[in-house]
Amino acid sequence: MLFLQTAYVAGALLVASASASSCCNRLEKRLGSSVSFPKDVDYNATMSGYWSIQESSLQPACVLQPRTARDVSKALKIISKHGNCHFAIKGHGHAPAAGFANVDGGVTIDMTSMSSVSLHEGQSIARVEAGAKWLDVYQHLDGSGVQVAGGRNGNVGVGGLLVGGGISHFTTKHGWACDAVVNYEVVLANGSLVNANKRCNRDLFLALKGGGNNFGVVTRYDLATFPLGDISTTSISYDISQRGKVFQAFTDLLDSSRYDPLASLVTSLLYRSTSKAWTLASSAVYTKPVSEPAVFANLSAVPHESLVRNITSLATFADESDTPPLNWLFATVTLKPSAQYMQDMFDMLNNTVSSFNPEGGVTWSVALEPLVAAMLKSPKDANVLGLETAQDGFIVLISALWPNSAVNAEVEAAARSVTSAWETGADAKGLLQGFQYLNYAAPSQEPLRSYGKDNFEFLASVSQKYDHAQVLQKRVGGFKLSS
Ligand SMILES: Cc1cc2nc3c(=O)[nH]c(=O)nc-3n(C[C@H](O)[C@H](O)[C@H](O)COP(=O)(O)OP(=O)(O)OC[C@H]3O[C@@H](n4cnc5c(N)ncnc54)[C@H](O)[C@@H]3O)c2cc1C
């Protein structure tokens, strides 16, 4: 494959930076057809693998699709020596913010060709290459009698979800998905291929459990499995006028001392600016095949428009369709339980969105997820999220999705204004918790600092130790440790 020194963006000819060009050139010499350039089929396949338009509209100078950990190691040896060669690490491209897993004029390392899954040690460990998506994992393990904790939507990448924490259907029983990683195979910024586990590189092992893409390119995760048969799913949709009762039933569940750890719940609100209509729903999963789990009785008792129960496998339930390409924005807050404050949050959001209808329209989604039980009670060395002092409550993910890239700044400003009003209101009532879940955070938020001063300083020290030149701080996008 010939190296092209030019890249086309929407018809305009851009000259790729000299540094990225020479970096891509060296990569191609060493790694051959794993490196592709604008207009190549492999390059385009990577670009169409992003979930948000903000990410897919960036134009890297070249894309590397490594097939082995040694390929990643060779690549990072070259990249780290090229003083100004910026790069991105891509899993399944579900982080919506521009520059988190793609890079304009640099090198995008797309891990998705490395997606094997295998069971080891009497089925107690699943070895998962970092470019897999969760559906690959669940389908491979389906029928084996064991499963692992990972994304609820099967299209989400293993790579990104696990370096940011990971909420699964099993989080309230087994803790954050990253808690179950027993070994990371990881390529450091200088190209060294190392393992990190309880015996070897222990500080790196802990830092990777929530520290994001700041320590290297993970090439394989070894995950502890647990026995699993079928699961029970309940989807309930309500008229928005029932929100007070739904918020109360949701809030009543947020007590670790009484919480049934087999229960997984997302209650969500959706508003479309084009139709000016709200919808309200609960997606409730019980991780045993119980047809009517008692824990969801109050949510089911609220007058509803529909209620569908099913007994199914994790692999089948996670097999969701992808959304069409859209602009996306995520932001998050973590709160203590209060049905009244949920109502206040609805009113604040409604005030903003009911008078906001940018051209092309925008859909707002608010997902409310319990933060209870094993999510808070992990042993101190299970992860670096700093939740030891957090209290029972819930994590809020607010998303905006819209087709028209010309209104990005307006939508981002509206989302910032709502999130900040929620935070200020909650703070005044003593309901705000400091934690910001990294995988739901907006680029303007600081999830790594939200883990607390000691954890942030620990992460910064591990970054200095394993990446002396601070390559991953200076040349890779995402939530960083350098100020
Ligand atoms: C539809 C949808 C459903 C979701 N469901 C859930 C859910 O159930 N639970 C949950 O907790 N979160 C969920 N999320 C959030 C999700 O965890 C994050 O978006 C996550 O970052 C996606 O990982 P990815 O590999 O697909 O994304 P990418 O955008 O490819 O990567 C995300 C970040 O991780 C880094 N990264 C990826 N792979 C590696 C690697 N091998 N080594 C080092 N760094 C790496 C990237 O550099 C990037 O900064 C969901 C998101 C979406 C859009």
Q: How confident is the model over 251-266, as pLDDT tens digits?
A: 999 999 999 999 999 9
| pLDDT one-digit tens code per residue, 154-175 | 999 999 999 999 999 999 999 9
Tell which atom from ligand 1 comes closest to the C-alpha of 156: 26
397 lines ligand 1 (CB under 6 A): no
Is the confidence at residue 373, as pLDDT, over 70? yes
- Domain assignment present for 295: yes
- Domain assignment present for 122: yes
Instruction: Work out the percent of the chain whose per-residue pLDDT is above 90.
Output: 93
- Other beta carbons within 10 angstroms of residue 60's beta carbon come to 29
Residue nearest to atom 6 of ligand 1 (CA): 151
User: Given this model, what pLDDT does residue 167 score?
Assistant: 98
Distance of alpha carbon 471 from the chain centroid: 23
Q: Mark whether 237 and 340 lie in a shared domain.
A: yes
- Domain assignment present for 481: no
> What CATH number should be reported for the domain holding residue 167?
3.30.465.10
In the reported structure, the alpha carbon of residue 280 is separated from the centroid of ligand 1 by a whole-number distance in angstroms of: 25
Q: Mark whether 292 and 397 lie in a shared domain.
A: yes
Of 160, 159, 234, 222, the residue nearest 195 (C-alpha) = 222
98 lines ligand 1 (CB under 6 A): no
- Final residue before a domain boundary, out of 78, 113, 148: 113
User: Given this model, what pLDDT does residue 122 score?
Assistant: 98
Is the confidence at residue 473, as pLDDT, over 70? yes
268 lines ligand 1 (CB under 6 A): no
- Final residue before a domain boundary, out of 164, 199, 228: 228
| pLDDT one-digit tens code per residue, 225-260 | 999 999 999 999 999 999 999 999 999 999 999 999
Encoded amino acid at 173, one letter: K
| pLDDT one-digit tens code per residue, 313-370 | 999 999 999 889 999 999 999 999 999 999 999 999 999 999 999 999 999 999 999 9
278 and 269 in contact (C-beta within 8 Å)?
A: yes
Structure tokens at 295: 């824990």
269 and 235 in contact (C-beta within 8 Å)?
A: no
Which residues have a Cβ under 8 Å from the Cβ of 84 and sit 6 or more positions away? 17, 19, 475
Which residues have a Cβ under 8 Å from the Cβ of 208 and sit 6 or more positions away? 163, 178, 181, 184, 186, 196, 215, 218
- Domain assignment present for 475: no
Of 8, 104, 16, 13, the residue nearest 475 (C-alpha) = 104
Q: Mark whether 410 and 279 lie in a shared domain.
A: yes
**DSSP, res 324:** P
Q: Mark whether 46 and 59 lie in a shared domain.
A: yes
Q: Mark whether 236 and 361 lie in a shared domain.
A: yes
Calculate helix-pair angle for 339-354, 408-428, nearest 10 degrees. Answer: 150
- Final residue before a domain boundary, out of 113, 148, 172: 113
Q: Roughly how many angstroms between the first and final C-alpha of the chain, as a whole number?
A: 40
Q: Mark whether 50 and 142 lie in a shared domain.
A: no
Across the chain, what does the average pLDDT equal? Answer: 95
User: Given this model, what pLDDT does residue 15 score?
Assistant: 39
Q: Mark whether 385 and 334 lie in a shared domain.
A: yes
Distance CA 411, CA 414 (A): 5
Domain that holds residue 235: 231-312+323-450
In the reported structure, the alpha carbon of residue 240 is separated from the centroid of ligand 1 by a whole-number distance in angstroms of: 31
**Helix H or strand E encompassing 327:** strand 327-335
Q: Mark whether 283 and 414 lie in a shared domain.
A: yes
Q: Mark whether 131 and 175 lie in a shared domain.
A: yes
Encoded amino acid at 225, one letter: T
User: Given this model, what pLDDT does residue 302 score?
Assistant: 98
Distance CA 403, CA 129 (A): 33
Q: Mark whether 337 and 245 lie in a shared domain.
A: yes
- Domain assignment present for 143: yes
Domain count, the chain: 3
475 lines ligand 1 (CB under 6 A): no
In the reported structure, the alpha carbon of residue 136 is separated from the centroid of ligand 1 by a whole-number distance in angstroms of: 15
* 41 vs 21 pLDDT, higher one: 41
Structure tokens at 471: 């390559």
375 lines ligand 1 (CB under 6 A): no
337 lines ligand 1 (CB under 6 A): no
Determine the 3-state secondary structure of 288 from DSSP.
Answer: coil
Is the confidence at residue 478, as pLDDT, over 70? yes
Instruction: Work out the percent of the chain whose per-residue pLDDT is above 70.
Output: 96
| Residue recorded with tokens 């933060």 | 371
Per DSSP, helices labelled H in 35-99 are 41-47, 53-56, 69-81
> What CATH number should be reported for the domain holding residue 283?
3.40.462.20
| pLDDT band, residue 18 (cuts 50/70/90) | confident
- Domain assignment present for 40: yes
In the reported structure, the alpha carbon of residue 95 is separated from the centroid of ligand 1 by a whole-number distance in angstroms of: 5
> What CATH number should be reported for the domain holding residue 64?
3.30.43.10
| pLDDT one-digit tens code per residue, 264-293 | 999 999 999 999 999 999 999 999 999 999
160 lines ligand 1 (CB under 6 A): yes
Tell which atom from ligand 1 comes closest to the C-alpha of 90: 30
55 and 103 in contact (C-beta within 8 Å)?
A: no
User: Given this model, what pLDDT does residue 9 score?
Assistant: 39
216 and 189 in contact (C-beta within 8 Å)?
A: yes
Is the confidence at residue 13, as pLDDT, over 70? no
- Domain assignment present for 455: no
115 lines ligand 1 (CB under 6 A): no
For the residues 432-447, what does the mean pLDDT come to? 98
| pLDDT band, residue 10 (cuts 50/70/90) | very low
| Residue recorded with tokens 């008792």 | 301
Which residues have a Cβ under 8 Å from the Cβ of 95 and sit 6 or more positions away? 55, 101, 160, 439, 478
Which residues have a Cβ under 8 Å from the Cβ of 460 and sit 6 or more positions away? 481, 482
User: Given this model, what pLDDT does residue 17 score?
Assistant: 66
Is the confidence at residue 8, as pLDDT, over 60? no
Q: Mark whether 144 and 54 lie in a shared domain.
A: no
Distances 4 to 7, 36, 289, 401 between C-alpha atoms, Å:
8, 9, 55, 35
For the residues 140-151, what does the mean pLDDT come to? 98
81 and 189 in contact (C-beta within 8 Å)?
A: no
Residue nearest to atom 47 of ligand 1 (CA): 89
Q: Mark whether 217 and 236 lie in a shared domain.
A: no
166 lines ligand 1 (CB under 6 A): yes
Task: Provide the sign of the torsion angle of the four alpha carbons 252, 253, 259, 260, taken in this order.
Answer: positive
Task: Provide the sign of the torsion angle of the four alpha carbons 187, 191, 193, 195, taken in this order.
Answer: negative
| pLDDT band, residue 447 (cuts 50/70/90) | very high
- Domain assignment present for 456: no
Give residue 145's region: left, alpha or beta (phi > 0; psi -120 to 50).
left
| pLDDT band, residue 3 (cuts 50/70/90) | very low
